[in-house]
């Protein structure tokens, strides 16, 4: 399959140590993660159930980034409006700020609208920023925060991102909270360290996890054509869920959706979706193509294990 040729299987070491989140629990948590990671790909018994470790509804977001024109976005919205989408999926798209109102006014109510960023507090003399209050005023329901392009190009740090998330949640917006490691961090075995540190910055300040979706996006896979194998993605997703169970609560670990992003497309989404801790996707380039984005949304059917 073409998908296999784009995988990046040479990365296997994910961690060497756990970040010191809690001195009294750090060592036991490392042992817990090591004992729980499912690294084999041995087949599971066939069951007529959903292959999901969490209890949340499948979630697919489309991050349009800094792309589009009036013409192309009108066409994309038209394609999405005419698509047949599975009912058991929450779908969100995040257009550029200047097109938010246009998309909200013309897109089917079946798909919610998200912003790609928001300011850390109430609006005011902050040139170039967009406030949560403004986003709510035009009908946005979600905001993407902590994306690697904001972290590594704009320079936003973990604490700043956490505070933005806390403010958005307090004001009633849902947050798609992005985490993920750089290539050199993965090669150094620091994947878990990085992801747990980024998670902790959210956990330290958010008022609740009810309206948070975690998006694991390995930076080396974003827009590169390299995709984490289903097993690589599952390994990190499972570790994230275990971190939530250990550091927040078992209920939050079960309810919080953990979605994957990083060169997801119509050709690889089905295999990724089969992994039980992958609760959906945050899609970049493929979300700019209506039919392909619909295919990714409908990959929820791959969650169903054949009877």
By the 8 A CB rule, do 178 and 261 touch?
yes
Residue 22: alpha-carbon gap to chain centroid = 25
Residues present in the chain in total: 307
Q: Strands 257-260 and 174-179, how do they pair?
A: unpaired
**CA-based torsion, 249, 255, 256, 259: positive or negative:** positive
Q: Catalytic residue, from 112, 147, 235, 238: name it.
A: 147
Q: Catalytic residue, from 149, 156, 181, 217: name it.
A: 217
Q: Which helix (H) or strand (E) holds 212?
A: strand 212-216
By the 8 A CB rule, do 61 and 93 touch?
yes
How many angstroms separate the CA atoms of 3 and 256, rounded?
A: 28
DSSP letter assigned to residue 150? I
Q: What region, left, alpha or beta, does residue 257 occupy, with left being phi > 0 and alpha being psi -120 to 50 degrees? A: beta
Residue 129 designated active-site: no
Residue 147 designated active-site: yes
- Percentages helix, strand, coil for the chain (3-state, rounded to 5) are 45, 15, 40
Q: Which positions are catalytic?
A: 147, 217
């Amino acid at each position: 399959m073409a998908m296999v040729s784009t995988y990046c299987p040479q990365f296997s070491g994910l961690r060497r140590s756990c970040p010191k989140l809690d001195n009294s629990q750090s060592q036991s948590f490392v042992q817990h993660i090591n004992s729980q990671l499912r690294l084999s790909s041995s087949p599971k018994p066939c069951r007529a159930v959903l292959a999901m470790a969490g209890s949340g509804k499948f979630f697919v977001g489309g991050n349009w980034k800094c792309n589009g024109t009036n013409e192309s976005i009108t066409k994309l919205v038209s394609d999405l409006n005419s698509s047949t989408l599975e009912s058991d999926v929450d779908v969100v798209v995040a257009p550029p700020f200047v097109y938010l109102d246009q998309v909200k006014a013309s897109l089917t109510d079946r798909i919610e609208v998200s912003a790609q960023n928001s300011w850390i507090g109430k609006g005011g003399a902050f040139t170039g920023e967009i406030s949560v209050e403004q986003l709510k005023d035009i009908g946005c329901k979600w905001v993407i925060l902590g994306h690697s392009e904001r972290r590594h190009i704009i320079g936003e740090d973990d604490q700043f991102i956490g505070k933005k998330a806390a403010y958005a949640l307090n004001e009633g917006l849902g947050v798609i909270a992005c985490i993920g490691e750089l290539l050199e961090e993965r090669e150094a075995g620091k994947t878990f360290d990085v992801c747990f540190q980024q998670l902790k910055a959210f956990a330290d300040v958010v008022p609740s996890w009810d309206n948070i979706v975690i998006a694991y996006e390995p930076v080396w896979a974003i827009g590169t054509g390299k995709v984490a194998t289903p097993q690589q993605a599952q390994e990190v997703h499972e570790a994230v869920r275990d971190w939530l169970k250990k550091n927040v609560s078992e209920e939050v670990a079960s309810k919080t959706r953990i979605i994957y992003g990083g060169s997801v497309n119509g050709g690889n989404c089905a295999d990724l979706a089969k992994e039980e801790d992958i609760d959906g996707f945050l899609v970049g380039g493929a979300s700019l193509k209506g039919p392909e984005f619909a295919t990714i949304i409908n990959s929820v059917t791959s969650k169903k294990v054949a009877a």
